[in-house]
Structure 1
Amino acid sequence: MSKQEMIVRHKLFDRLCHWTIVVVGLVTFFTGFSFFYPSFQWLGGIVGTPQLAKVMHPFFGIAMCLLLGLMLIRYYHHNKWDKFDWPWMKAVVWVLLQKEENIPPVGHYNPGQKMLFRSFVIFVIAFIVTGVIMWQPYFAPMFEASTVNWATLIHAACAILMLIAIVVHFWMATWIEGSITGMLYGKVSKAWARKHHPAMLDDFKEEEK
């Protein structure tokens, strides 16, 4: 395939940020589940010992949230609602049935991806706020026990919900052939964009001016 047929979907910085989040996020989730849920205590071994997992988890969590926050800021302009979103939402049944001839055009991201984007924004805020409140021995003593308990509950619930969102994200990426390749190498073919995100080509033309 010639270079003239390829366009940039993800810049190098964004790809590095994305895959770093994947690595840091896995460590964060594994260490978190290791002491939130006793049956998963063995997962703490990813950083050495269960005791070390409790120490390292907040730092990995902060790194994950900061990197994810940076990526969300960089991708904000692609995730604003636009004129293409509502028609796509009304045709979501055709999307699930993969009847591509009945699916309206969308831009860089479709509404499903944009809703996932917003869920990650909520999770980042929730993790930071609740994580600080429950962080022993630094900040937790500043709050009442009931507040720490509620923060712990919300933190754990958000972790489960985010895990579900990540599974959906992975499913979306694997469902549409070429999506993961775009995040690995940064480029997709114009034919791929025309098929899955046709309005994205308009944005590409604007950037070329």
Structure 2
Amino acid sequence: MKPQQMIVRHKLFDRLCHWTIVVVGLVTFLTGFSFFFPSFQWLSGIVGTPQLAKVMHPFFGIAMCLLLALMLIRYYHHNKWNKYDLPWMKAVVWVLLQKEDNIPPVGHYNPGQKMLFRAFVIFVLAFVITGVMMWQPYFAPLFSPETVNWATLIHSACGILMLIALVVHVWMATWIEGSITGMLYGKVSRAWAKKHHPMMLEEEDHK
């Protein structure tokens, strides 16, 4: 593949941020599940002991949320709704059937990816707010036991929902051949962009 046939989809900083989130997020989820669900306590072994998992989980969680927030800010301009999104959503059946000729063109991200983007924004806010309210022994004593219980419930529910969203995210990335390669190396072929994100290619050509 000649260099001139490739275009940048993800900059180096964004790729480093993404894969750091993957590592930090994995530790956060495993330690979280280890003490929210007793049958998964063995997962705390990723950091050593259940006691250490409880201590480290908030710090890994903060790191994950900060990095994710940074990435969301950097990708905000790619995730604004535009005139290409509604036609794509109306043709979502063709998208699932991979009937390329019937799928309307989209830009850097399609509406499905944009909805995931908004879900991650909600998750970050929910994790930070409820996480601070639950954090023993620093902030939890400032709130009533009932409030802390509600925060724990919301925090746990968001953890499960985000896990589902991440499964969808991984599925979408593996379903479209070349997506993961783009996040690994930063570049995709012009042919790939023309097939999956033609308006992105048009935007690139007008720079």
Q: 3-state DSSP class of the match of 2:198? A: coil
Residue of structure 1 equivalent to 2:71 = 71
One-letter code aligned to 1:137 = P
Alignment of 1:1-209 (within 5 A): 1-207=1-207
Distance 2:84 2:190 in 1: 19
Distance 2:33 2:156 in 1: 9
Alpha-carbon distance, 1:206 to partner? 3.0
TM-score (norm 1): 0.98
Distance 2:205 2:4 in 1: 13
Aligned residues: 207
Q: 3-state DSSP class of the match of 1:107? A: coil
One-letter code aligned to 2:38 = P
Distance 2:164 2:4 in 1: 38
Q: 3-state DSSP class of the match of 1:199? A: helix
Alpha-carbon distance, 1:21 to partner? 0.1
Q: 3-state DSSP class of the match of 1:188? A: strand
Q: Which stretches in structure 1 are left out of the alignment for 5+ residues?
A: none
One-letter code aligned to 1:3 = P
One-letter code aligned to 2:170 = F
1:139-192: CA deviation from partner (whole Å, max 9, x where unpaired):
000000000000000000000000000000000000000000000000000000
1:34-66: CA deviation from partner (whole Å, max 9, x where unpaired):
000000000001001110000000000000000
One-letter code aligned to 2:184 = L
One-letter code aligned to 2:24 = V
What is the RMSD of the two structures over their aligned residues, measured on CA atoms?
A: 0.4
Percent of aligned pairs with the same residue? 84
One-letter code aligned to 1:149 = N
One-letter code aligned to 1:100 = E
TM-score (norm 2): 0.99
Q: Which stretches in structure 2 are left out of the alignment for 5+ residues?
A: none
Distance 1:179 1:67 in 2: 21
